[in-house]
Structure 1
Amino acid sequence: MSAALLAQDPHKVREERENILEVAIGREVRAFRHQSGMTIADLSHRTGLSIGMLSKIENGNTSPSLSTLQTLAHAMSVPLTSFFRRFEDVHHAVHTKAGEGVEIERRGTRAGHQYNLLGHLGANTSGVVVEPYLITLSSNSDIFPTFQHEGIEMLYMLEGEVDYRHGNNVYPLKPGDSLFFDADAPHGPEVLVKLPARYLSIISYVQGK
């Protein structure tokens, strides 16, 4: 596969963030004041705010009103939203230890076909839901489930060999192989070539679907 340009740099380091809103705003006010070459007295003169109040804002000791922030933004010629850029909302992570994934029953699941959900985040800032599964197929079967759902799915083969159908095509998957596809087309394992077979299935779809 030829190299492709990514829409974003996955290794980019974000600016330092702050999880206390007042402190985050205060740091930005001070930084923009310094960039503007103003002393705190200069800013006080431009805004009509006292030096004491400005000092409290810059040190994160008070929660300024939106009208105060608007006044500060106008005085320093910056967007109001720029005061919030270093504020970090709480983000969550799910740590699932080996063997502790939640076993899920999917339509058509048969004995010897095990689906373990490795983690799940609900509402999040990305607007996307991602569901990672570890799928283990340990016994043969004459009937295989066909799945069809919204979103994008990626498979990564860990062990064994499987012929996997997607739409009208069948792909042989061996350890190290991957398959990335539109999950709205019928898909699922068609032939279990070598057992046991284990692979990761990562499904992503728009939040709220």
Structure 2
Amino acid sequence: MDERIIATNIKRIRTARNITLQELADRTGLTKGYLSKVERSEKAPPYSTLSKIAGALGFETTDILKEEIGLPQDQPLFFAKKADGKIIRESRHYVGYDYEILASGKPGKNMEPFIIYAPDEFTSMFQHEGEEFIYVLEGRMEFRYGEETIFMEAGDHAYFDSCTPHAGRSIGEQRAKLMVVIYFYKRNRQ
């Protein structure tokens, strides 16, 4: 397999979906520099890494290996079955967090919806551009936003500017299950 085909397909998909290298790094747990090298065909990723990149882009690994790859056109409605979702286990970037990317096949999104399972301990504070919405589906959690601490349970929700450092952890015996939607207002539209 020609590395240039893989590199070209990764970059083509990423740019068609308006995903920055940093966003792809955040989704995969890989560094922005490493992904840049992959796209410039300086470093061939192993299959496991390629699989991680493909999943973050909403593609199958085998599709990225193809010489001719078709990109889905933007569509006003995107639908996915529950069975289509995959739980992504914690990465070094999201230590303790397991998450499921929702609407992963929808190109040109301005929002990133997830189902997240919060860790039992605080791992690190997150801070990024945009706005975020958290809705507790199951369990209870302690949520830190800047200097403020809020205790949340099923049905509670928060909407906030995600430029302020924030993090959450499960409390009690059940791991907190959250629906999270991140809105990137600086993202370029197609």
For normalisation by structure 1, the TM-score amounts to 0.47
1:159 alignment partner in structure 2: 138
Partner residue of 1:130 out of 102, 111, 119 = 111
Q: Secondary structure at the match of 2:176?
A: strand
How far residue 186 of structure 1 moved from its aligned partner, in angstroms, is 0.6
1:97 alignment partner in structure 2: 81
How far apart, CA to CA, are the structure 2 residues paired with 1:190 and 1:96?
A: 28
How far residue 180 of structure 1 moved from its aligned partner, in angstroms, is 0.5
Which residue identity is paired with 1:208? Answer: N
Offset from partner CA, 1:158-198 (integer Å, 9 cap, x none): 11000101111111110010010000111111453442210
What 5-or-longer segments of structure 2 have no aligned partner?
A: 1-73
Alpha carbons of 1:197 and 1:180: their partners in 2 closer, same or farther (altered >3 Å)?
A: same
Alpha carbons of 1:99 and 1:144: their partners in 2 closer, same or farther (altered >3 Å)?
A: farther
Aligned 8 A contact 1:145 1:189 in 2: no
Which residue identity is paired with 2:162? Answer: A
RCO (CA 8 Å, sep 6+): is it higher in 1 or 2? 2
Alpha carbons of 1:173 and 1:194: their partners in 2 closer, same or farther (altered >3 Å)?
A: farther
Offset from partner CA, 1:110-154 (integer Å, 9 cap, x none): 2xx311111143337xxxx011100123x634x423211110000
For normalisation by structure 2, the TM-score amounts to 0.51
How far apart, CA to CA, are the structure 2 residues paired with 1:201 and 1:157?
A: 9
Matched, 1:178 2:151: no
Aligned 8 A contact 2:120 2:169 in 1: no
1:147 alignment partner in structure 2: 126
Matched, 1:109 2:110: no
Please list every run of at least 4 consecutive aligned residues from structure 1 whose deviation after the TM superposition is greater than 3 angstroms.
102-106
How far apart, CA to CA, are the structure 2 residues paired with 1:170 and 1:191?
A: 13
Offset from partner CA, 1:63-89 (integer Å, 9 cap, x none): xxxxxxxxxxxxxxxxxxxxxxxxxxx
- Aligned sequence identity (%): 26
How far residue 205 of structure 1 moved from its aligned partner, in angstroms, is 1.1
Q: Computing the radius of gyration over CA atoms, which structure comes out larger, 1 or 2? A: 1
Which residue identity is paired with 1:94? Answer: F
What is the total number of aligned residue pairs between the two structures? 113
In the TM superposition, 1:8-19 aligns within 5 A as: none
Aligned 8 A contact 1:166 1:185 in 2: yes
Aligned 8 A contact 1:147 1:186 in 2: yes
Which residue identity is paired with 1:135? Answer: I
Aligned 8 A contact 1:154 1:178 in 2: yes
How far residue 157 of structure 1 moved from its aligned partner, in angstroms, is 0.5
1:118 alignment partner in structure 2: 102
Partner residue of 1:200 out of 175, 179, 188 = 179
How far apart, CA to CA, are the structure 2 residues paired with 1:146 and 1:99?
A: 31
Which residue identity is paired with 2:188? Answer: G
